[in-house]
Amino acid sequence: MNHNRSIFERMGDTQFKKYCRYAINILEKEATRRLSTSDLRFFENLAWQVMDKLKSPLGRELDRLDIEYLYGTIYLNNDNFSDDSEIIRPSLSIEDVTYTTVERKEVRTVRTGKVPTYSKDGLDNQSYLFTIWHEYNAIEPWDWKVVDEEELDWEITDEKFEIE
């Protein structure tokens, strides 16, 4: 996986502070809360609402990492981008994330096994086969060799992400 860096990492502090002041001005016109106390999801939605204005000085849309970098910078600096303040920048990290699903699957599985018998014709009877399985425990189809398997349908009943 290619991990690109934000375009803001390459900007000098003076130029980036100027852009941050510009972005805060644009974003706060739409925001319903202070940017440095908002969460990333709120910030990201807000950024997409005003993307045309945010991209104007850059000449291109911000991508996900650009939005995260801008959010992190605003949060770390508590909205303070005065010329005499030192800018604190976020750093890129690569995190292990686990995606867990609970799935319900409908699978057609064909198993084959050997059944000793004196009456091959008797094995054509489903009821008899279930009887020798459940009542006599003479066969165990779950232990037989799987010779064909087809997933017919599935649905995810629960899902979540976790950072390791």
Q: How far is CA 73 from the centre of its chain?
A: 24
Tokens at residue 14, please? 């003076």
Torsion sign across C-alpha atoms 96, 93, 2, 45: positive
Could you give the residue ranges of the DSSP H alpha helices within the chain?
13-30, 40-49, 51-55, 64-76, 126-134
Q: How many CB atoms lie within 10 A of CB 149?
A: 10
Provide the pLDDT for residue 2: 46
What does the pLDDT read at residue 26? 93
Q: What is the pTM of this model?
A: 0.69
Q: Which two structure tokens, joined as six digits, stand for 130?
A: 């279930």
* Residue 105 φ/ψ, nearest 5 degrees: -120, 145
Cβ distance 35 to 43 under 8 Å?
A: yes
Please tell me the predicted confidence (pLDDT) of residue 103: 92
The answer to whether residue 36 scores a pLDDT higher than 80 is no
Tell me what pLDDT residue 1 has: 44
